């Protein structure tokens, strides 16, 4: 799959859809700060990886994909749900990167400069998430090729 | 945060599986399965970080 940026999606997104994401993200960030202040950073830290924006993003993605299909005269419900499912798969890949990010910050922050550790951890997050995505894409490509080869070599029914 | 991130991975995998297999609505799936995130994150916190 070729990676490309679809800027038309920005035009399709309505202002209140951005507001929903910012509000959810903002509320959870504020709550995390309050929890960390009351119960300590270990408990507050757990909420740094809370799926605050994911439900709003997945729901809006499902809606957009559904509308796109409906404009062409199809139902689009199944397509919308599949797109949101793929979004969740991407979130899982990002989550592995987030584990690496958190481990690096946890282990390296006490002895090094904060900005250096955060920059290195962010870079590690990008590299891990992209490497997993590339690996999954390679496996899917091989599966497609194997499937195509099987269908070519399958004996024809008499 | 490590515990939360591991929980987020399990949560995202569960949402992905539920949506791909059963074609459930994104809102229902993502909100209902948040219990998985809570159980995993606080389970890990109790077992490992506390």
Q: Which of B4, B20, B34 sits opposite A47 (nearest CB)?
A: B4
* Token representation of residue A8: 């038309």
> Cα separation of B41 and A46, whole Å?
7
Nearest CA in chain B to A63: B26
Q: Would you give the DSSP letter of residue A155?
A: P
Nearest CB among B9, B24, B26 relative to A92 is that of B9
Q: What are phi and psi of A75, to 5 degrees?
A: -70, -55
CA distance A35 to A24: 16
Pick from B4, B12, B24: which is nearest to A81 by CB? B24
| Tokens at A63, concatenated | 């809606």
Q: How far is CA A75 from CA A61, A64, A69, in A?
A: 15, 12, 6
Contact A39, A11 (CB under 8 A): no
pLDDT in tens, A90-117: 999 999 999 999 999 999 988 888 899 9
| Chain A residues touching B8 at Cβ < 8 A | 49-51, 91, 95, 98
Tokens representing B49? Answer: 């970080």
Number of independent structural domains in chain B: 1
Rounded to two decimals, the pTM is 0.81
Contacts of A48 in chain B (CB under 8 A): 1, 4
Q: What does the pLDDT read at residue A148? A: 81
Boundaries of domain holding B41 = 2-49
- Interface predicted TM-score of the whole assembly (ipTM), two decimals: 0.87
């Amino acid at each position: 799959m070729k990676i490309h940026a679809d800027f038309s999606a920005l035009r399709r997104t309505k202002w209140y859809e951005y507001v929903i994401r910012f509000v959810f993200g903002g509320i959870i960030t504020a709550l995390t700060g309050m929890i960390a202040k009351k119960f300590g950073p270990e408990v507050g830290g757990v909420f740094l990886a809370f799926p605050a924006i994911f439900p709003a993003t997945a729901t809006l993605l499902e809606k957009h994909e559904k509308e796109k299909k409906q404009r062409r005269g199809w139902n689009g419900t199944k397509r919308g749900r599949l797109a949101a499912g793929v979004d969740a798969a991407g979130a899982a890949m990002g989550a592995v990167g987030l584990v690496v990010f958190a481990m690096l910050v946890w282990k390296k922050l006490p002895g090094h400069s904060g900005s250096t550790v955060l920059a290195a951890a962010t870079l590690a997050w990008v590299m891990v998430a992209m490497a997993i995505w590339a690996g999954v894409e390679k496996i899917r490509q091989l599966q497609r090729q194997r499937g195509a080869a099987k269908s070519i070599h399958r004996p024809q029914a008499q | 945060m490590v515990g939360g991130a591991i929980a987020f991975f399990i949560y995202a995998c569960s949402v992905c599986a539920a949506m791909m297999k059963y074609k459930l609505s994104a809102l229902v799936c993502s909100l209902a399965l948040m219990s998985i995130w809570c159980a995993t994150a606080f389970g890990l916190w109790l077992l490992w970080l506390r």
